[in-house]
Amino acid sequence: MRILDGRIVSKERRAKILARATEFRSRFGRSPKLAVVIVGDHLASQVYVRNKIKACQEVGLTSQKVAIPSTVGLSQFKDLMSGLEADEETDGILVQLPLPSHLRELDLGEFLSAAKDADGFTYATLGKVGAGRSRIAPCTPQGIMSILAHYQIAVAGLHCVVVGRSLIVGKPMSWLLTDASATVTLCHSRTKDLRSFTRQADLVVVAAGQQGFLGREDFRQGSVVIDVGMHGSGEGKGVCGDVRFAELAGWVEAATPVPGGVGPMTITTLLENTLLLAEARQAISSTAEVPKEPR
């Protein structure tokens, strides 16, 4: 079984991001900038934000941590977000989830603009992804496509099954695979006899959100398995995924491990998205040609 190591792919692509960010700074006198918004003191969110800030520094991007107290009112939060939207030096905005309950009535997918949507979550961005006309895509699905490309797994003509239909992973994953000329089946919690679909697939992307949800018997021999899940093992042994990875050896052709598979490429794609947004915004303001996308 081939291990599809996202850390290797991430390292290679981050080197390219650094080169392009350096070129961007040379041409325009500033570095691409990502604003990371965090509300409250949610421990896991603090860790995620710290990792994203560090990643920006490593590839020559400027980052801004916007820490907002959990007591912030909805109208004040909207004003803060609008200020970031209007800031000419900010190219990408990421709002770290979850938000406090009193802010969740704000539909970020509709409120934020696509021009600074580093996460690829706005409805305007998703609509373009679905139409095959977007420069960026949600980070996890696009990261998976980068892993497949790195390991020369051509999806054209393959039957691909995506388990999970969220707007963050499942649906955009199915669109990207379709654009790559795969035949795609999108499964979810209401799918009857899920195994009958996954066992037919050449490639399965599992984003079910359930620890150890699928194992060896759920996949066709010689298939490719991409595990999007990330869960605490509960046994003091770190994290594990939606797939029982240890069962796959000697059965599937290739699979992503957890950790070290899809996760590293999610953050790397966030960096790529920020760079692409910066290039697009600068091209509009300066009429310069937008450099070719690093896909």
Active site residues: 52, 96, 119
Residue from 252, 246, 244 nearest 227 by CA: 244
CA distances (Å), origin 34, targets 85, 124, 134, 252: 11, 19, 19, 39
**CA 194 – CA 20 distance, rounded (Å):** 43
C-alpha distances in Å from residue 209, one per residue of 203, 255, 286: 18, 17, 44
- Rg over alpha carbons for the chain, rounded to the nearest Å, is 19
Number of CB atoms found within 10 A of residue 259's CB = 15
Element (H, E) at 143: helix 139-150
